[in-house]
Chains A and B, each alone.
Chain A
């Protein structure tokens, strides 16, 4: 299986901060990389698909970039509702895998 490694596993940030989360794949996955946001007790929500496409209805402060083995999710100006856990997911292989998650907490 393709291993997905996210960093950091957690971070503390303030409202208005620019936040970047990194996801690395154990082999090249082209651009077959998605990002999800999950809040406590809720199902994950799709933010970004195929590395950089913004899902309909998701604020433009979220952006994704990367290809091959290294990808980033950036929140340009963190808002109170953005405090959550973020997961990357590869769909290059039919055996889909997620990263371990990055918890974004309030500083």
Chain B
């Protein structure tokens, strides 16, 4: 399994942007599909988007379309998730995770980062 290490906690003001990083080790980034999952305090898991290995594109949940950008730096095996126009409701822990499997058998998240708490407060 890959190891994923995320950047540290952030505090942002409403309207600002945040960029969270996820560094991969044990594999090269080109061998992996990294996705992002959000969890608001005391709430459930919410998929935000990630790299779709079937068509080679990054896909985003409709809820976050236009506000989230996921990028990668293959030279450092690091993936980034940037969320803009932050609101207090965006306060959450953000996780990166590796997507495994294929379209015939199915997909699953088998490795997760430790999580990054983003607090949005004026």
Count: A-B pairs, CB below 8 Å: 64
For the complex, what is the distance from the CA of A97 to the CA of B61, rounded to whole Å? 9
A66 within 8 Å of B (CB atoms): no
Set of chain B residues within 8 Å of A101, measured between Cβ atoms:
44-45
Interface size class of B (residues with CB under 8 A): 20 to 34
Set of chain B residues within 8 Å of A95, measured between Cβ atoms:
47, 59, 61-62
- A31-B106, A43-B113, A46-B108 known; A97 vs B44 contact (CB < 8 Å): no
Set of chain A residues within 8 Å of B106, measured between Cβ atoms:
31-32, 34, 49-50, 91
A1 within 8 Å of B (CB atoms): yes
- A1-B62, A43-B114, A43-B115 known; A98 vs B45 contact (CB < 8 Å): yes
CB B3 to nearest CB in A, in angstroms, measures: 12
B44, A43: Cβ atoms closer than 8 Å: no
- A43-B95, A43-B114, A87-B44 known; A49 vs B101 contact (CB < 8 Å): yes
- Residues of B whose CB lies within 8 Å of any CB of A are 35, 37, 44-47, 52, 54, 59, 61-62, 95, 97, 101, 105-110, 112-115
* A-B contacts, 28 listed (Cβ < 8 Å): A1-B62, A31-B106, A34-B106, A34-B108, A36-B45, A36-B109, A38-B45, A44-B45, A44-B109, A45-B112, A46-B110, A49-B106, A49-B110, A50-B101, A50-B105, A50-B106, A87-B44, A91-B101, A91-B108, A94-B54, A95-B47, A95-B62, A97-B47, A98-B37, A99-B44, A100-B44, A101-B44, A101-B45
